[in-house]
Amino acid sequence: MNTQSQAMPHSPLGAEVFAPRKIPATQRFYWSVRRELWENRWIYIAPLAAAGLFLFGYLINMIIVRRRMHGVWPFNPTHQRMLLTAPFEIAAALIMVTAFIVGIFYSLDALYGERRDRSILFWKSLPVSDVTTVLAKLTIPMAILPLLSFVITVAAQFVALLLGSVVLAGSGLSIGALWTHSSFLHVSVVMLYHILTVHGLWYAPFYGWLLLVSVWAPRAPFIWAFLPPVVIYGVEKIAFNTSYFLSMMQHRLTGPTHSPLPPGSTVMEAMAALSPGEFLSLLGLWIGLAIATVFLAGAVWLRRNRGPI
């Protein structure tokens, strides 16, 4: 009795033919983001280096403070609070600015680099759409980098608190004052809100523009990214003697805040004064997201139709 073969009748040598497994879109997007992290390790190395520099400087500062406090330098409460609070705000600003700069250079090279080394020919052969690729690259500066910088900042501030407690132990200054004046929890919450709103949404037009330039520029994407805004500002200034474009760019960079800023407040604290409802009701937010969508649509179209350099 003959057993019926499971192979297709016309397959060579009786080899079985299987239909390719369909990969979910979410999984393709996930592995596209993972690929970006594998290929660009400086994405997390740069914020870590900034945190390391902060901790080194903070340790030296605490040692100097300890020596001056040894019966020679009594502090009034205002001076003491400023001394203990400022380093933590500096740490947040240093690491977040570092992450923002890394995001700029990453976005400029994200699509240009694969055209330059011709690896785009390989990546286009994979079952990953141009939309998925562009959105995965956008996720790095808009989500991964800000959240990574937040985690690194919180860890660096916590380590700084421990270092300060050790260095100042026995100095006559209450260790509890160090933990109280640093406002560790408050600063962390404000910083997280700032990251989710400003770096996650408000900066979307910047990253959309940089990705568009990255996929279009024949050479030197950095020049092509920053030359047009300079030209627009110059033409407006010469023709109309106004600076509306420059003011708009400055407003987009500094983020939406109450005007005027509360006395002595940082940009992050002023940003936190806006409730989520107030932030989401800002017309400038939705205009910026619409502009970013146009830039990203252009980046997707150009990646689909442009080859390697």
Delimit the domains of the chain by residue range.
40-305
CA pseudo-torsion sign 164, 165, 170, 176? positive
Q: In this predicted structure, what is the pLDDT of residue 12?
A: 52
**pLDDT tens digits, residue range 198-225?**
878 899 999 999 999 999 988 889 999 9
Q: How far apart are the first and last CA of the chain?
A: 63
Q: How many CA atoms lie within 13 A of 298 on its CB side?
A: 18
pLDDT on residue 11: 47
Query: How far, in Å, CA of 167 to CA of 182, rounded?
Result: 16
Sequence length of the chain is 309
Closest CA to 308 of 109, 110, 134, 115: 115
Q: What is the CA radius of gyration of the chain?
A: 26
Nearest-5° angle of CA 157, CA 257, CA 107? 65
Q: Read off the tokens for 230.
A: 């300079």
Query: What mean pLDDT do residues 156-184 have?
Result: 67
Average pLDDT, integer, range 61-84: 63
What are the pLDDT digits (tens) for 104-146?
999 999 999 888 888 888 888 888 888 999 999 999 999 999 9
Q: Is the pLDDT of residue 187 over 60?
A: yes
Question: Do residues 7 and 17 touch, judged by C-beta distance below 8 A?
Answer: yes
What pLDDT was estimated at residue 309?
73
pTM comes to: 0.81
User: What local confidence, expressed as pLDDT, does residue 178 receive?
Assistant: 56
